[in-house]
Structure 1
Amino acid sequence: MITPAFAAPLAPVTVAKQLDNPRQLGLTTDGTLIIAESGTGGDDCAVVDGDEVCVGTTAAVSVVRRPSKAENVLAERVVTGLLSESGPGGFGATGNDGASARTLDRIFVAKDVDVPDGITGLPEEQEGKLLRAAAGRPPAVVADIRAFETANDPDGQGVESNPYAVLDLGDRVLVADAAGNDILAVDDRGRISVFAVLPHVTGGACDSRPNQGGSFCDPVPTSLTLSRDGDIIVGGLGSLVPGAGRVWELDRRTGAIQQTWTGFTGVTGAAQDQAGNLYVSELFGGANRTGQLVFVPKNGARVVLSVPAPAGVVVDQPGNVYVAVNSMSPGTGTGTPGSDGQVWRLTKRSF
């Protein structure tokens, strides 16, 4: 009897390296890879609630042209001067968590930074806003996401806002407000409307988790991509409760939920390929809680690949999968080789 030979999985390829806390990924219409870098904070520091917070304008939007061929490149920063905050050393920075662009003349950025009281000289007008920029040009405010949350509180759980992911649809821009548990739509005049309020997560540990007078987990949307048929794929952190992470497919026109995938932990990215397969980043997934990418085939069992602290995921037309890696690390790394912020390229044959 002849035993069939099984090909070994294809190892991921490092596309870009030395990135500062890379988060959301996207692709322009011509296939350029968009990378949101949350930066490394800055030189102005203050103590906030007992923790030292350092702020600056180190966040950026970077690009890699022809990413399907690139290996170990330094990404080109096309938008700079964006607010960033972190602890000393630039680890786990918050700032430019989301970026989306159809062309490099129209780049949208979601910002969530609070400049501590007493620190001046920074662009505080960016705080909690949707920004628009073009390559090589400074950003401008498009819409005030925090102000909309303050005035409307769509999920009814009290005012809390964290604009985290963004998706340019051409006729409007979607913004995932992670703390607000909703997806907002911004038109070309900067007017904001509610696209979808995501449902509470119940079942398992969430049924015994006190929350807003009940027992449930917040959905916490952290990622936005297009589905294979042009609808919206949303990833939800699920409050980091094991198994409470969710991925939803929403109708592009109405925001209605069309499909739900369950059983994830800490979703920070989700994308679908043209065959209907799903790729999901789990920030603290895996046996050692160091992170993994989950391959959810259209038909069949899930398979996982160990990926350190993954964030944004996007898939191109040929089926190349790009994932942000070491998403809580500065470009200088954490002291061990390969610990810098990176983007990897892989395919379903990598699992």
Structure 2
Amino acid sequence: MKNLSIYSILFLLFLFLVGCSKESVTPELPLSNEIVNGKAKAASLADTERFTTPLFGLATAPNGNILVADGGAGVANTTGTTTTPLPGITDIAPIGTGAMWAVTGAGEAGPTTNSGQGLHRISKGNRKLVADLFAFEEANDPDGQGVDSNPFGLASLGGNATLVTDAGGNDLLRIDNQGNIRVIALFPNEMVSTSNLQHLVGCPNPDFAFICNTPEMSAQAVPTSVVVGPDGYYYVGELKGFPAPAGESNIWRIAPNATGADCATSPDCMKLFDGGFTSIIDLTFSADGKLYVAELDEKSWFAVEVLGGGTGGTISAIDLTTLDVQVIATGIMGLTGITFGKDGSLWATTHALNPDLAEVIKIIM
């Protein structure tokens, strides 16, 4: 996202939470860690070390292990132990036992500077840089809005290639194991309502007159997540940039043979949902073919990062045949990633930005 990347947003929030960590904090989710019947109620998890944080993507290895992208450390397990050091990691996508793709996003220097944005391949604990994604953005700037790279989401296409969403570049990339990069799709800016932001800042408010007096603004897509559907199509979720609207994050369905598709006009890139979600942060499919959507916070990322509030994130399930949406769990503070285990269990991050509270929990449905 130009000028305000998702990594910058979450990094600043991480700093905010670290600064507040000396205060007495009562977790919104009790430490028994289980979310039951759609409400943040309790939790169940083995004894954990502390994650370095922030936590981002989750994935399930072929052997059933749940993998965690711990942005402060690298690939970790659910107990917080780092198995492969890779600071700056935002997502992981297993290839086989002991092998996976990993992506690193924009660091503290920001998305307009080369701070290690790249695609990596990890094999038995060893990692290799496959593609320098900042260099690609700098040389090509596919969306034409200025150099800005913040790779955030991954979906493996096997050992030969993977998909990457660049939240800063507003594009979906296909990268092979030789580092060759192809732009699959470009996500357009859209006019969105400022009503959510007006409510959050308390309009009328002279300090936010430019928001209070503007009913709509252009917002960048900020694609955060990608998953391959059972139909072979690629599904991409948006965060949606400033002014952080509520209910206007899209889900896109993209043909696997698409090349350079402009999602504003191309038939190869269609909206599965034209809005309806807020600040989408992750997607995953269940074994029965339902698309699960993780929203960072119902009040939007602005409520969390700028105002230090929010009401918690939501996980929903979409039936692709009927497009019916079922809410699975709500009120999950610091929700940034979801995955299904080999046994069908749904796992999620919670308090993902707070090193004192961050956990990976099982959602009881």
Q: TM-score, normalised by structure 1?
A: 0.70
Q: Shift of the alpha carbon at 1:228?
A: 3.4
Indicate yes or no: 2:337 matched with 1:320: no
**Residues 248-279 of structure 1: CA distance to partner in whole angstroms, max 9, x if unpaired?**
23233337335422221111112232334332
Change (3 A) 1:188 1:297: closer
Tell me the CA shift for residue 327 of structure 1. Answer: 1.7
Partner residue, 1:107: 100
The equivalences for 1:94-133 within 5 A come to 95-114=88-107, 127-133=116-122
* 1:293 aligned onto 2:293: no
Residues 1:181 and 2:170 are matched in the alignment:
yes
Which whole-Å CA distance do the structure 1 matches of 2:162 and 2:248 have between them?
Answer: 27
In 2, distance between residues paired with 1:204 and 1:115? 30
1:78 partnered with 2:106: no
Equivalent residue, structure 1, for 2:230: 228
Aligned-pair Cα RMSD in Å: 3.0
1:136 is the counterpart of 2:129: no
Closer/same/farther in 2, CA of residues 248 and 32 from structure 1, 3 Å limit: farther
Trace 1:240-279 onto structure 2 (pairs within 5 A).
Answer: 240-254=244-258, 256-261=268-273, 262-279=275-292
C-alpha distance 346-114 of structure 1, shift in aligned 2 (>3 A): closer
Give 3-state SS (helix, strand or coil) of 1:131's partner. Answer: strand
8 Å contact from structure 1 (residues 279, 293) kept in 2: no
Deviations 1:121-177 (A, max 9, x none): xxx99711112222332x221101011111111111111111112222113111111
Matched, 1:329 2:318: no
CA distance 1:152–1:309, change in 2 (3 Å) = same
Aligned to 1:54: none
**Counterpart amino acid of residue 279 in structure 2:** G
Tell me by how many angstroms 1:13 deviates. 4.1
State the secondary structure of the residue aligned to 1:327: coil
Measured against aligned partners, the alpha-carbon deviations of 1:43-96 in whole angstroms (never above 9, x if no partner) come to: xxxxxxxxxxxxxxxx210135xxxxxxxxx2442211x23xxxxxxxxxxx21
CA–CA distance in 1 between the matches of 2:177 and 2:57? 22
List structure 1 runs of 4+ shifted beyond 6 angstroms: none
Q: Identify the match of residue 167 of structure 1 among 155, 167, 174.
A: 155
**Cα pair 2:106 2:151 within 8 Å, conserved:** no
Matched residues in 2 for 1:28 and 1:254: separation? 28
SS in 2 for 1:252: coil
Deviation at 1:15, TM superposition (A): 4.0
Distance 2:76 2:68 in 1: 5
Amino acid at match of 1:271: T
Q: Which residue of 1 aligns with 2:26?
A: none
Provide TM-score, normalisation by structure 2.
Answer: 0.68
Q: Which runs of 5+ in 2 are unaligned?
A: 1-35, 196-209, 260-267, 301-308
Of the candidates 122, 140, 143, which is equivalent to residue 152 of structure 1? Answer: 140
Indicate the SS of the match to 2:191. coil
Q: Secondary structure at the match of 1:294?
A: strand
Match for residue 237 of structure 1 among 236, 239, 256: 239
**For residue 314 of structure 1, what is the amino acid of its counterpart?**
T
Give unpaired runs (5+ residues) of structure 1: 1-7, 40-58, 65-73, 84-94, 117-123, 334-339
> Paired residue for 1:62?
76
Partner of 1:24: 57
Q: Relative to structure 1, is the Cα distance of residues 125 and 264 closer, same or farther in structure 2, using a 3 angstrom cutoff?
A: closer
